[in-house]
A and B are shown apart, each in its own frame.
Chain A
């Protein structure tokens, strides 16, 4: 079975500061990795995904993430955050089998202060 751990339930940061949201996963098989963002009263939007290849993945809105197989981590980073980045961020994994099933972490609330 797979599991995802997001250690930080909330991360406060000042505007224009860098941020890192941490994600660790557990799986006995290879997985695909995803980061989604959820704004209030909205569904989830994909920020970026790692399937294979380069371990540094760039996504939308200036976000990037690095896959580290030895540490089973997929941390999300942004060099300079904006107020509009305030949202809930979810890390997720899926197993490349025949069905589409995402296993989510518990989420990290990013709170950007002016």
Chain B
């Protein structure tokens, strides 16, 4: 069974631009979570979507947003990019039950210049 697919793998954007990242979960999974990984702050939870509804949100500014489609694919958007948004963005897929395993994609490496 196919794993979690994140596209693109690498992205370079200019400060002030906006960016959209995509995540296709494992077939049958209805929960998609997003995490930001940086050397300074480590792995931080951004938000979780379940059946097209945001169930939980981390402590990030409103420039970070997301959505989930009826086929469970999810996108996250970052507007007005800042240099500090450079990070590895990881998506995790699960069936939505907290005691089951979350499967992570390989991530999208975003560089803001």
Contact = CB atoms under 8 A, between A and B. Distances in A.
A84 interface: no
A80 B94 CA distance: 32
Interface of B: 4, 31, 33, 35, 42-45, 48, 50, 55-56, 58, 90, 92, 94, 96-99, 101-107
A89 interface: no
A98 B50 CA distance: 10
Given A94-B98, A104-B35, 5 more contacts: A51-B99, A100-B55, A100-B56, A103-B45, A104-B44
Interface of A: 32, 36, 41-46, 49, 51, 90, 92, 94-107
Nearest to B99: A51
Given A99-B55, A99-B56, A107 B42 contact: yes
Contacts of A44: 90, 92, 104
Nearest to B96: A100
A43 B107 contact: yes
Contacts of B103: 46
A100 B98 contact: yes
A100 B31 contact: yes
B48 A101 contact: yes
10 contacts: A36-B104, A43-B90, A43-B104, A44-B92, A99-B56, A100-B31, A100-B33, A100-B94, A101-B33, A105-B42
Instruction: Please name the 5 residue pairs, one residue from A and one from B, whose CB atoms are nearest each other, closest first.
Output: A43-B104, A99-B56, A104-B43, A99-B55, A44-B104
A43 B44 CA distance: 14
A76 B13 CA distance: 39
A98 B55 contact: yes
A97 B98 CA distance: 7
A32 B101 CA distance: 11
A22 B98 CA distance: 23
B33 A32 contact: no
A42 B106 contact: yes
Contacts of A97: 98
Contacts of B92: 44, 100, 102
A58 to B, nearest CB: 15
